[in-house]
Amino acid sequence: MKDQLEALRPQAAARISEAADTAALDAVRVAYLGKKGALTAILKQMGGLSAEERPVIGQLANELRGSLEAMLQERGEQLKAEEVAARLGRETLDITMPGTARPLGHKHPLTIVLDEVKEIFLGMGFSVATGPEVENEYYNFTALNIPEGHSARDEQDTFYTTEGLVLRTATSPVQVRYMERHKPPIRIIAPGRVYRQDTPDATHSPLFHQIEGLVVDEGVTMGHLKATLDQLAKGLFGESTRTRFRPHYFPFTEPSAEVDVSCFRCGGAGCPFCKGEGWVEILGAGMVHPNVLRNGGIDPEKYSGFAFGVGLDRLTLARFRIDDIRLLFENDLRFLGQF
């Protein structure tokens, strides 16, 4: 029996090292260590051994089982590694290759700048108001103290729809609409689309965007207007930006001003962009005319206010150094993708 056991070792060792894959190796394991395996068969005869022989053979059998198991284990690991290597060789999958990119949209440049403007004003306690784009002549002109015969009312300048209705020529009509429904203190901005009969070119578009501002309260002065617009200029174009007020005329404000900011390209030294001026005009503003306050149901003896209107398209062109307003409306992804 001892000879039988000892003969098993080299025989099994040879078959283990010859096993070509893990399946073949499993078959070898069963052939020796399985229920009907060679080693098991020998052990079953142990009952016929003498009391002296039994522990000797038992120890030998256990030792053989242990070393067969170790050989099986080692060969098993070897085969597994070979199989993995072969599989990796077959399946050449480069996980560092870029995946399929899905085109991801983003904000339109006008929206980027509008969001910045909103952020600046929300920080000063303003809220956002809106009004209709198809407006009646009363809110668009009359309520804003724009007299009959004013050039803004001309059919050459304004899109009239049905009798008495126009595509609003400014965001200013939101002022009176808002005052009619809200008591001071009023602090709003009103962004939106506006329309004028212009032939499109690099600086004109029949559709463009404005952001109106309106503040009404007791004791509001031009100083508040200046400080507010300073905040806007600094927020948009950097802390070193200065503002300059030039007297102007608007029917709905008195006094009125056009407001320039120090040129954000040259810092005020003068360059082709600011035409050597050092200043760039960005908006119109002024103290709300008493007639306009009255039209909004607000007593001009008790309250005062300021208003301003800024061209969002102009701001956006300046901000991103775009030289043609039409690019904003053509929806060309080669252009829009750059922002």
Q: Which residues bind ligand DAH (CB under 6 A)?
A: 170, 172, 212, 250, 253, 284-286, 307-309
Q: Report the residue number, 72 or 312, with the smaller CB distance to ligand DAH.
A: 312
Least distance CB 270 / ligand DAH (angstroms): 26
Residue whose C-beta lies closest to ligand DAH: 309
For residue 292, give both structure tokens: 């306009």
Q: Report the residue number, 19 or 176, with the smaller CB distance to ligand DAH.
A: 176
Q: Report the residue number, 34 or 132, with the smaller CB distance to ligand DAH.
A: 132
Least distance CB 252 / ligand DAH (angstroms): 6
Least distance CB 118 / ligand DAH (angstroms): 17
Q: Report the residue number, 184 or 284, with the smaller CB distance to ligand DAH.
A: 284
Least distance CB 116 / ligand DAH (angstroms): 20
**Contact (CB, 8 A) for 240 and 267:** yes
For 213, 233, 242, the CA distances from 308, given in Å and listed in that order, are 5, 13, 17
Neighbours of 160 (CB within 10 A): 13
**Contact (CB, 8 A) for 211 and 114:** yes
Least distance CB 328 / ligand DAH (angstroms): 18
Q: Report the residue number, 25 or 307, with the smaller CB distance to ligand DAH.
A: 307
| Residue 25 CB contacts under 8 Å (≥ 6 apart), including other chains | 16, 19, 72, 75, 76, 79
Q: Report the residue number, 37 or 213, with the smaller CB distance to ligand DAH.
A: 213
Least distance CB 126 / ligand DAH (angstroms): 14
